[in-house]
Chains A and B, each alone.
Chain A
């Protein structure tokens, strides 16, 4: 939690903390009124803070229940029980009863999937969590010795709880990404190289078709393709913008930007003029709002925007 530097909001928050039973205590009222009267922005800051708290009052119960339930029910919740059964049988076979308990407590399997435009965070039994971006599927297999995740497709951030004895490995196609305790995102989109963005700690990437292991540390991004693994500096706020439901473009062509939005929605942006497809755009946009993006582009670049069905056509204005 990082608090921004704004004196008025800080003071306003201190006043808001004193509110009890839906009002400012009577003994504090004169001082509070004096503070409000001192500067018109004080009222604004206070109302803004109280509006934020009102949001928690309105939605907090729902949020809390999902926070407690770790956000989501595994798609294959039954599997967990099956794995526990397998664990129990294994324990009997090895005749190590105590070991069986440990196994049971540590084995876990589930698959998680998000639809187009959906994003969700799932908690795992060891305290790690996975945030799945749009159109993503991941399978989790925990055993006593290892924590294995397979990223079938899409993009996900892994916040890994530290445990040296149980490495956390994400398999994605020909590559695997291993971490001990760290936070990193893996992007596996068709026709694009696999990318691994590391937010905290270090991960090791190895591939079945490339030699050696590449270490990637916090603030770096690895791009893995058949040709090998290349490491470059990451811009976390941009590369992980999807965590906030946004997409970030840095001098991206309109064609590529339109393509990116297809990951998040069934609306299609069509760049109807080849002449404008290569124009570039920079900025952060709401991922689930291709229509809003198209509108902004139309205004910024002085283009004509037409909507037909689920298609948004961008073309040059007639002279």
Chain B
């Protein structure tokens, strides 16, 4: 298998699950002029460039550190925002290292997330995706099976890929056109003690 794809498999287990949290954290920072998508992509790129991911003992903590350092770099380079406006960068809501006690439950939730994503796809797009990436058919075999052009298979596949990436990374449905301004996660004004 392709080295990048092997790396992507590792990321599916260790990076993709925390992407929504990183996004929430970025959105909470509300740094003007900094695009959450940009930072997320850079985070993937940096983790993708690590020589040996097996040496990363705590992927969650590592990813958070990477995201923090990227954001800090952006802020330093930018003349618009002051660090003071961002507050404490170290306020990540770090998830507990031990996962859900019942692994079975966790697995069911994961499967449920995939089911939800698959349901959102148009039927033909879903068929193409499942044939290509679950049953492992080649583009040509998929085209033959569904009696459609290879180019059409590729088009469906690209749509599925783009949708899933946005869907999983945002921990649910992506918001059209507002990819970097997802949820506001915080408190009301004047309520803190």
Q: Do A and B bind each other?
A: yes
A residues engaging B (CB < 8 A)?
1-6, 8-10, 12-14, 16-24, 40-64, 66-67, 71, 119-121, 244-246, 251, 276, 279-284, 292, 295-296, 299-303, 316
- Taking the closest CB of chain A, its distance from the CB of B34, in whole angstroms, is 13
* CA of A2 to CA of B179, assembled, Å: 11
- Taking the closest CB of chain B, its distance from the CB of A237, in whole angstroms, is 8
- Cβ 8 A contact of B42, one of A41, A50, A64, A120: A41
* CA of A17 to CA of B40, assembled, Å: 21
- Taking the closest CB of chain A, its distance from the CB of B186, in whole angstroms, is 6
* CA of A303 to CA of B187, assembled, Å: 13
Q: Which residues of B contact A48 (CB under 8 A)?
A: 11, 16, 19, 40-41, 44, 165, 169
Given the known interface contacts A43-B49, A52-B169, A56-B134, the answer about A280 and B191 at a Cβ–Cβ threshold of 8 Å is: yes
CB <8 Å contact, B41 and A44? yes
CB <8 Å contact, A64 and B134? yes
Given the known interface contacts A67-B115, A119-B112, A282-B188, the answer about A4 and B177 at a Cβ–Cβ threshold of 8 Å is: yes
Instruction: Mark B11-55 against chain A: 1 for CB-CB distance below 8 A, else 0.
Output: 110011001000000000000000001101111111111000000
- Cβ 8 A contact of B129, one of A22, A56, A121: A56
- Quick one: closest A residue to B164, CB to CB? A52
Q: Which residues of A contact B115 (CB under 8 A)?
A: 63, 66-67, 71, 121
CB <8 Å contact, A55 and B168? yes
CB <8 Å contact, B44 and A301? no
CB <8 Å contact, B45 and A55? no
Q: Which residues of B contact A43 (CB under 8 A)?
A: 4, 44-45, 48-49
CB <8 Å contact, B161 and A16? yes
- Cβ 8 A contact of A302, one of B16, B157, B183, B192: B192
Given the known interface contacts A16-B158, A43-B49, the answer about A23 and B188 at a Cβ–Cβ threshold of 8 Å is: no
Per CB-CB distance, the 3 closest pairs between chain A and chain B, nearest first, are A44-B45, A50-B8, A44-B44
CB <8 Å contact, A3 and B166? yes
Given the known interface contacts A17-B158, A282-B187, A284-B185, the answer about A55 and B175 at a Cβ–Cβ threshold of 8 Å is: no
Name the prevailing secondary structure of the B interface residues. helix
Given the known interface contacts A283-B185, A295-B93, the answer about A52 and B168 at a Cβ–Cβ threshold of 8 Å is: yes
* CA of A5 to CA of B95, assembled, Å: 29
Given the known interface contacts A41-B38, A52-B12, A280-B188, the answer about A13 and B44 at a Cβ–Cβ threshold of 8 Å is: no
Size category of the binding interface on chain B: 35 or more
CB <8 Å contact, A63 and B183? no
Q: Which residues of B contact A64 (CB under 8 A)?
A: 118, 130, 134
- Cβ 8 A contact of B191, one of A49, A54, A63, A281: A281
CB <8 Å contact, B48 and A301? no
* CA of A300 to CA of B129, assembled, Å: 42
CB <8 Å contact, B1 and A22? yes
- Taking the closest CB of chain A, its distance from the CB of B16, in whole angstroms, is 5
Most buried by A among B5, B159, B184: B5
CB <8 Å contact, B158 and A20? no
Instruction: Mark B114-143 against chain A: 1 for CB-CB distance below 8 A, else 0.
Output: 110111111001000110011010110000
* CA of A24 to CA of B91, assembled, Å: 40
CB <8 Å contact, B184 and A51? no
* CA of A60 to CA of B112, assembled, Å: 10
Further contacts, 12 of them, CB under 8 A, given A47-B8, A283-B183: A1-B159, A4-B178, A5-B179, A6-B37, A13-B159, A18-B139, A40-B45, A54-B8, A55-B16, A121-B119, A300-B187, A300-B192
- Quick one: closest A residue to B177, CB to CB? A5
Q: Which residues of B contact A12 (CB under 8 A)?
A: 161-162, 165
CB <8 Å contact, A1 and B185? no
* CA of A116 to CA of B95, assembled, Å: 22
Q: Would you call B176 an interface residue if the criterion is a C-beta within 8 Å of the partner chain's C-beta atoms? A: yes
- Taking the closest CB of chain A, its distance from the CB of B119, in whole angstroms, is 7
Q: Which residues of B contact A41 (CB under 8 A)?
A: 38, 41-42, 45
CB <8 Å contact, A55 and B12? yes
CB <8 Å contact, A6 and B166? yes
CB <8 Å contact, A50 and B5? yes
- Taking the closest CB of chain B, its distance from the CB of A236, in whole angstroms, is 11
- Cβ 8 A contact of B174, one of A2, A17, A61, A283: A2
CB <8 Å contact, A1 and B172? no
